[in-house]
Structure formats: structure tokens, C-alpha cells
Structure 1
Amino acid sequence: MAPMQNYVAIILVSALIAGCASTPSTRATRESSRQVDAAEQRCLALAMYWEARGEGERGMLAVGSVVLNRVASRDFPSRACAVVRQGGESPPCQFSWWCDGKSDVPRARPQWNAALTTADYMLRVRPKDPTHGALFFHSTAIKSPWLRSRERTVRIGGHIFYR
């Protein structure tokens, strides 16, 4: 093969390899460029903050997954804010922090920032669900007899998850 043909062949093979190698990152870019509704992000972040702010990213992902699993279920509202607020601001409600009569303004700035970042990530990328499809959870500090009929999926941090 002549030197110019070698050069062209090298360029073509390099372009082909680069194109194949960039496919996953192109997919990731497409996924990460999903539009995120600011209100939905805030509602998801509030749920993660109030339910799991002391449990790190994995605990927040687990609580966020329950909210998003409910959004995907026909048995619950189809928006994160509606899931979080289901039942109104007086008991019984779905999330006790929502209907306890106290302020829902986050006070711990680092944990709030982590919740916002995690909510944004979950809404853009849709990571693997660490709860295995859970629709319910409760603190390990309480007994919940109403969940006896549900399948326990996992314990993460201070919460037990069920579907």
C-alpha cells in the first residue's frame, strides 16, 4: 500500500474506533441532558432530605427511588410533588415530615445541597434502583404492622423497604 493510502486507512480506522468508543458517552450525554422540572427536583430532594439526610447518598437514593417508583406505579400520582404531598398536610399522609405542622425548609445546608444534587442526578440519569422496586419504607426504629402483607426488599441505613 502506498504511504498516502496507509494514511487514509489509518484515519478511517481511527474514526471508526473513535465513533464506536464514543457511543456510550453520547448516550450518557443524551441522558444527562434530559430536562429536569425544578419543582419536581425540589419535591424529590425534600423527601430525600427529610427522610434520609443523615444516611448519605445511598440512603437518599433509596428514598428517592421509592418516590420515583410510586410515580411509575398506577397506584400513585404521576408526579413526584403529588406523591410527596399525597394525603394533604394533615395526618394521615404519605410522608410524616410533610404533615407534621413543622417548617419544611431544610436547615442543614450540606445535606440539602447533597439532596438537590442527588435528585437532579436521579431525574436526569435514572440510576439503578437500590430498593428493588420498593413502594414503601419505614424507619428501623418503628414497627409497621401495616406492611406485614408486603414483600421486604432490602434494608438500607436506618430504613426497611417493601414492595
Structure 2
Amino acid sequence: MSTRSAVLALLPVLLLASPAAVARDRADTPTAPAGAEAGYDTGMTRAMDAAAAQASAETSLPPEQRECLAKAVYFEARGEPEEAQAAVAAVVLNRVEDPQFPDTPCDVVRQGGETPPCQFSWWCDGRPDVPRDRDSWKRALRIADLVGSGTVEDPTGGALYFHHTRVSPSWSAAFEQVAEIGGHVYYRDENG
């Protein structure tokens, strides 16, 4: 069985983060279950790492574009389940494919400049865009590779827009809601 087939077979399991996976993203909680060694790892994590290594080799994204996609994942959804992180990556790549948006992940992320209004609030919030949580950054890179290579399909069904569930922006009424994944609601053009 190819790596891609193995990942696709495990996809429902791989993309549903367990409470332990979510806890790993929080600095104030241990990274392993009680009694486990510091190097705690599961077969599922190893399978995803292997799939991500294969995806990284297969991705058509140049390193700078991969990093921009991973930063979008990291800053928008690092504490969320991996399906939610994949959804953020998918929106960036959906925009790359849509003629009304720029042609690269970096240009999509940077659209609107470094001062509000911009497309991604973390890009124009005036704070450094340097990932500080090493494990979450590695996970964001892995998700960027999996989504960027097509190993993981778009869980949003073609969404071009999203917002956090805690807000209700006026622009959302102009679009068709297609999914709610993790802490975000996803939309696409009603005509698209």
C-alpha cells in the first residue's frame, strides 16, 4: 500500500485530534499522558509524520510558500484539531486557485498589507510573525505539506473565507456558509 493510500485510509482518524493532541498545543499542560516518557509518541503520529515527509517531497510549494501556508495554519488554528488546521490551509490554497485572489500562498496571506484592513489579522496585528511553540510549528508545517500536496483533501468544500465562531462579521451574509470546523465558520461565493 502506498503512503498516500495509507494516509487516506487513516484520514478520519488522523484528522480528528484527541484531547491529548489538543493538550500538546497548550504550554501549560504536559505533552504526554501521565506516566509516559517525555518522548511519548503514537503510531498515528508516526504515520502522519511519514505521510508528511512523503507529502513534503511531493509538494509543489517552494520553501517560502510552504512557510507562509504553515504560518497561516499556525497563527489561525494551532490549538485546534488537525482537521481545523487543514481547513485553514485549504482556504489559503483555494484563494490561490481563484482568479479574484493573488497567485501564491504568501501573496494571499499578505493581501491588504501590514496594516488593517487585511485578510489575515495575524499578518497585520503589528506583532512578530515568529512561531514560538516548536511542536505546534512542526504540526503546522506537516499540515501545510499534507494539504499542499493534495494528500489531505479540502475539508471545507471549496471555501474562500472564514472567521472565528466568536465573531459575526457583516460580510458573512454575502456568502454561502459551507462548514463549521473547529473554531471557524467557512464560506464560499454563492455564485461559485
Q: Greater helix share, 1 or 2?
A: 1
Give TM-score scaled by structure 2 length. 0.67
Q: How many residue pairs get matched?
A: 140
> How do 1:20-31 residues align onto structure 2 when only pairs under 5 Å count?
none
RMSD over aligned Cα, in angstroms?
A: 2.2
% of aligned pairs identical? 50
Query: In structure 1, which of residues 123, 137, 148 is the aligned counterpart of residue 173 of structure 2?
Result: 148
1:140 counterpart letter in structure 2: T
Q: Are 1:32 and 1:125, in contact at CA under 8 Å, matched by a contact in 2?
A: no
CA 141–112 in structure 1, closer or farther in 2 if over 3 Å, else same: same
Question: Which position in structure 1 is the counterpart of 2:143?
Answer: 118
Question: Which position in structure 2 is the counterpart of 1:160?
Answer: 185
Give TM-score scaled by structure 1 length. 0.79
Query: In structure 1, which of residues 118, 127, 135 is the aligned counterpart of residue 160 of structure 2?
Result: 135
Deviations along 1:29-75, one digit per CA (max 9) or x if unpaired, are 79953443100100000000000001021111000000000000000
Structure 2: which 5+ residue stretches go unaligned? 6-50
Between the aligned partners of 2:184 and 2:153, the Cα distance in structure 1 is 18
CA 139–117 in structure 1, closer or farther in 2 if over 3 Å, else same: same
Q: Are 2:147 and 2:154, in contact at CA under 8 Å, matched by a contact in 1?
A: no
After the TM superposition, which segments of 4 or more aligned residues of structure 1 sit over 4 Å from their partners?
A: 28-32
Question: Which position in structure 2 is the counterpart of 1:40?
Answer: 65
Deviations along 1:72-105, one digit per CA (max 9) or x if unpaired, are 0000001000000000100110000000000110
Question: Which position in structure 1 is the counterpart of 2:123?
Answer: 98
State whether structure 2 residue 77 is matched by structure 1 residue 52. yes
Structure 1: which 5+ residue stretches go unaligned? 1-20
Q: Are 1:48 and 1:64, in contact at CA under 8 Å, matched by a contact in 2?
A: yes
CA 91–31 in structure 1, closer or farther in 2 if over 3 Å, else same: closer
Greater Rg by CA: 1
